[in-house]
Chains A and B, each alone.
Chain A
Amino acid sequence: MTDPRLELTRIPLIKKILASRWLQWSLVAVTLPFFVLAIFTGLFGTPAGSRNFGIVFVWIVWWGLLMLVLVPFAGRFWCAVCPIPAPGEWLQRRSLVATRENGKLFTLGWKWPRRLNNIWLQSAAFLIVALFAKVILTTPFVSAVTLLILAGIAMATSLLFERRTFCRYICPVGGFIGLYSQVAPVEVRVKDHALCATHHDKTCYSGNEKGYGCPWLVFPATLDTNTYCGLCTECLKTCSLDNVALYARPFGKDLLTTQGRRLDEAYRSLMMLACAPLYTIIFLGPWAEIKEAAYAIGSTGWWLYAFGLLALTLAVVPGIFCVCSALSKFIARAKTSTRKFFVGYATALLPLGLAAWASFSLSFVLVNLSYAWQVLSDPFGWGWNLFGTANWKWTPYLSGWQGYLQIPILLIGLVAAIAVAFRIAREQRVSPRTALPIVLFCVAFTVVIVGLNF
């Protein structure tokens, strides 16, 4: 069977760019000023979120870019250019661009506890952010403090633990970016696994004069999904056998296998799925009482909202999916555990979840994007008009077309989810009809999302 992938590193220019030690620094040097501006505007700018760069550029522009462009088309590219862990990493390396001669990092180098060697902590961090999302996403000061806390944790983690432990195990955003990056049509992979087996130095993991060992604590030879590859391209630089390449590939290639799937990842994909309609409700829907409850932290309404969010994400949606998985197992009359069905079939939820989030993000971004022109000219809300756009009126874009754009996205996600579910059934050597409860679950979820949006 021919390889459907296209090795992009065969193009000399791309290879040269990826091999350059300036690459990651240059990209972070572009995102860092935006991050710094977001912090300063959040701390010192107007408390009116819609007129504050920190809110508009982080939670509308960045979020829209992330969910509509970067994750679906470039996987974890954002992780490679994210400014939050950059200062910690620079400090750890005591270098911004070059490699250290002895390769020793400025860190206590603690190992991350084995029990936390999963994404449960990231999921918990995401839920904490979700509980306070209405305030974090609308209140500039709180948003800036949240970003500073994340940067502080990233810095402390870099000094205490090895490599990019923060990105791999703590970052609240990293978990879902990793899961959904499996859909993306790019990957960094070794070209020939046999060659890796004969390579004694394993410079891709240990580093050499050309680069650092994988900051994401991944041994590239074992990499078979995008989940934990930060696209930092260090392994492309350090592989002395030139055995690592960047590939363009068909969308969702990682979803075709359930090998190595874990319960923490399955649960996370369900949590993300449950959060998509919740975010639609508290940010877009007409339900003023729920929105107010989500904002009024500490009030009875907020406690009810928090209970509802936790119940839905941790119990109700995973519970329904567990019942569907048990039904699948029952139809298959399989002797394998329900857990195996649960974990395996959760892979099918990734394209659906990504589509739901893209659909939400599209609506959110189209409604609010016009604020971006205002804050570009007046980032602090101090009455500036740098580019003459400060007084442009708020205008929701394509307001009559949002439905026509959202429905195809959701349908693509649903069709992909159904296709993956049947594929998983085949992989598990059971009748395709055993996937029907999962298909029904996906259809029902899509109906809910459509119902909330229209």
Chain B
Amino acid sequence: MKKELFALTIVLLIFVAFPASLFAYQAWRTNTSFGFAQDDVRVIALTANVPNNGGWSPDTIRVNLGERVRLRISSPDVVHGFEIPALGIQVAEILPGHVAEVEFAVSRVGKFPFACTRWCSVDHWRMRGSIKVIDPNNPNPLPQSFAPPLYQQLKIDIDALHPATNVPTQRPSATRGTLLSPVIADDLRVNSPSDVFAKLRTNDALKTNSDSQLWDAIAFAWKQSAGDDAIARGQKLFARDCAACHGESGKGDGPAGRNLPGLAAMQSDNHQMLEIKRGPADFTDAPKMLGASDVLLQGKIIRGGMGTGMPEWRTLYTDQNMWDVISYLRSFVFEYK
């Protein structure tokens, strides 16, 4: 009988105590054991699913101002990344079945979007969430007011077509443009390259220069205005966030963009329907890119494509991020090297 009891005890330990000890260990590790915190860190489990399976879970996280938070991020499916751009918090890689941890405290009230930074699926860009930071002493602050984006301030219709009135016969080169380097007083963010060309062409001092020379000078001006660092930063952002749809070479031929609707037709100023190329924008399309100002391009990035599959980036990108990307986009029509 004693032997039976011993054997039964072992079996019960295997069936009950063994699994219970595993869960207890996990509870202790994640700081949720029996309601007692081990230290002053609140542990929050965040699961990264591909968007078709629910995306971030939870997709809204509430934390108190100054509260120390440890996110334990796991992925059940594919490799994801994590970033809260406004707080400069980033986890480069969340491998399936692994747990990545990041610890931080937020010192300002607000809603801070976070997003996946790896091309996890065709709906990757939908994989967003937000961290809402609340001041317990002032839980309902008045909403902050923001200045409208530049394209709205300048009343630019970003849905209208803005084709270039002049198009170069060869790809403008910033290197060749250094030879001429005329003084361009125009604001290169507000004016499109085509606008700038038109003004230069009417300049008597530049009468003897060919159209190609003027375009080279414009390429140089845009490169110099942006700066090499911005272009390099923009290249990284483009590779991470844009290339999947717009293609590595900017031709709008990225693998994830193949089935996107794009714009099928658009109403022109004279109320005629114009046929537009479907799918993601082609940044090597010179008439389109040279007719578009940086502000217009920023507007498209801020707002997104409204049903075309192009996401909005206002919530994730800073202004600097957007100018960086636009600086790089110009390299698809201007020869920068």
Q: Could you list 27 examples of A-B contacts with CB < 8 Å? A: A25-B7, A29-B7, A32-B11, A33-B14, A33-B18, A36-B14, A40-B19, A46-B74, A46-B76, A47-B77, A48-B76, A48-B97, A50-B97, A52-B97, A90-B11, A95-B4, A96-B7, A96-B8, A97-B4, A380-B22, A381-B97, A382-B26, A382-B99, A383-B74, A384-B25, A384-B26, A391-B98
Given contacts A46-B97, A48-B96, contact A36 B7 (CB under 8 A): no
CB neighbors of A among B182-239 (8 A): none
Q: How far is the CB of B75 from chain A (nearest CB, A)?
A: 7
Chain A residues within 8 Å of B8, by CB:
96
A210 CB–B CB distance under 8 Å: no
CB neighbors of B among A377-414 (8 A): 378-384, 391
B10 CB–A CB distance under 8 Å: yes
Chain B residues within 8 Å of A96, by CB:
4, 7-8, 11
Chain A residues within 8 Å of B11, by CB:
29, 32, 90, 96
Report how far A348 CA is from B269 CA in the complex, Å. 83
A51 CB–B CB distance under 8 Å: yes
Closest partner residue, chain B, to A97 (CB atom): B7
With an 8 Å Cβ cutoff, the count of chain B residues facing the other chain is 25
Contact A40 B22 (CB under 8 A): yes
Contact A29 B22 (CB under 8 A): no
Chain A residues within 8 Å of B22, by CB:
37, 40, 379-380
Known: A47-B77, A96-B8. 19 other contacts (CB 8 A): A29-B11, A32-B14, A33-B18, A36-B18, A36-B19, A40-B22, A46-B74, A46-B76, A46-B96, A48-B77, A48-B96, A50-B96, A97-B7, A381-B74, A382-B29, A383-B74, A383-B98, A384-B25, A391-B98
Chain B residues within 8 Å of A383, by CB:
29, 72, 74, 98-99, 101
A14 CB–B CB distance under 8 Å: no
Contact A51 B97 (CB under 8 A): yes
Chain A residues within 8 Å of B10, by CB:
29
CB neighbors of B among A357-393 (8 A): 378-384, 391
Closest partner residue, chain A, to B16 (CB atom): A36
A116 CB–B CB distance under 8 Å: no
Q: A-side interface residues toward B, CB under 8 Å? A: 22, 25, 29, 32-33, 36-37, 40, 46-48, 50-52, 90, 95-98, 378-384, 391
Chain B residues within 8 Å of A50, by CB:
96-97
B34 CB–A CB distance under 8 Å: no
Q: How far is the CB of A304 from chain B (nearest CB, A)?
A: 24
B15 CB–A CB distance under 8 Å: yes
List the 7 closest pairs (A to B, CB-CB), nearest first.
Answer: A51-B97, A383-B99, A48-B97, A48-B96, A381-B97, A47-B76, A96-B7
Q: How far is the CB of B302 from chain A (nearest CB, A)?
A: 36
Chain B residues within 8 Å of A90, by CB:
11
Report how far A48 CA is from B101 CA in the complex, Å. 18
Q: How far is the CB of B18 from chain A (nearest CB, A)?
A: 6
Chain B residues within 8 Å of A97, by CB:
3-4, 7
Q: How far is the CB of A385 from chain B (nearest CB, A)?
A: 10
Report how far A40 CA is from B25 CA in the complex, Å. 14
Q: Which of A25, A51, A95 contacts B96 (CB 8 A)?
A: A51
Q: How far is the CB of A393 from chain B (nearest CB, A)?
A: 11
Report how far A378 CA is from B74 CA in the complex, Å. 13
Chain A residues within 8 Å of B14, by CB:
29, 32-33, 36
Q: How far is the CB of B14 from chain A (nearest CB, A)?
A: 5
0/1 interface trace, chain B 65-78, chain A, CB 8 Å (1 if under): 00000001011110
Report how far A22 CA is from B29 CA in the complex, Å. 37
0/1 interface trace, chain B 1-43, chain A, CB 8 Å (1 if under): 0011001101100110011001001100110000000000000
Contact A48 B72 (CB under 8 A): no
Report how far A173 CA is from B186 CA in the complex, Å. 79
CB neighbors of A among B90-107 (8 A): 96-99, 101
0/1 interface trace, chain B 148-178, chain A, CB 8 Å (1 if under): 0000000000000000000000000000000
Report how far A391 CA is from B99 CA in the complex, Å. 11
Report how far A348 CA is from B145 CA in the complex, Å. 83
Report how far A50 CA is from B97 CA in the complex, Å. 8
Closest partner residue, chain B, to A379 (CB atom): B22
- Which of the listed residues B7, B14, B22, B97 has the most CB atoms from chain A within 10 Å of its own CB? B97
Report how far A436 CA is from B5 CA in the complex, Å. 61
Q: How far is the CB of A51 from chain B (nearest CB, A)?
A: 2
Closest partner residue, chain B, to A374 (CB atom): B97
Chain B residues within 8 Å of A33, by CB:
14, 18
Contact A384 B29 (CB under 8 A): yes
Contact B96 A380 (CB under 8 A): no
Q: How far is the CB of B33 from chain A (nearest CB, A)?
A: 14
Q: How far is the CB of B231 from chain A (nearest CB, A)?
A: 35
Chain A residues within 8 Å of B72, by CB:
383
Closest partner residue, chain B, to A49 (CB atom): B97
Q: How far is the CB of A47 from chain B (nearest CB, A)?
A: 4
- Which of the listed residues A33, A48, A90, A97 has the most CB atoms from chain B within 10 Å of its own CB? A48
Report how far A40 CA is from B26 CA in the complex, Å. 13
Q: How far is the CB of A130 from chain B (nearest CB, A)?
A: 25
Q: How far is the CB of A244 from chain B (nearest CB, A)?
A: 24
Closest partner residue, chain A, to B96 (CB atom): A48
- Which of the listed residues B11, B25, B72 has the most CB atoms from chain A within 10 Å of its own CB? B11
Closest partner residue, chain A, to B29 (CB atom): A384
Given contacts A29-B10, A96-B8, contact A36 B3 (CB under 8 A): no
Q: How far is the CB of A209 from chain B (nearest CB, A)?
A: 15
Q: How far is the CB of A53 from chain B (nearest CB, A)?
A: 10
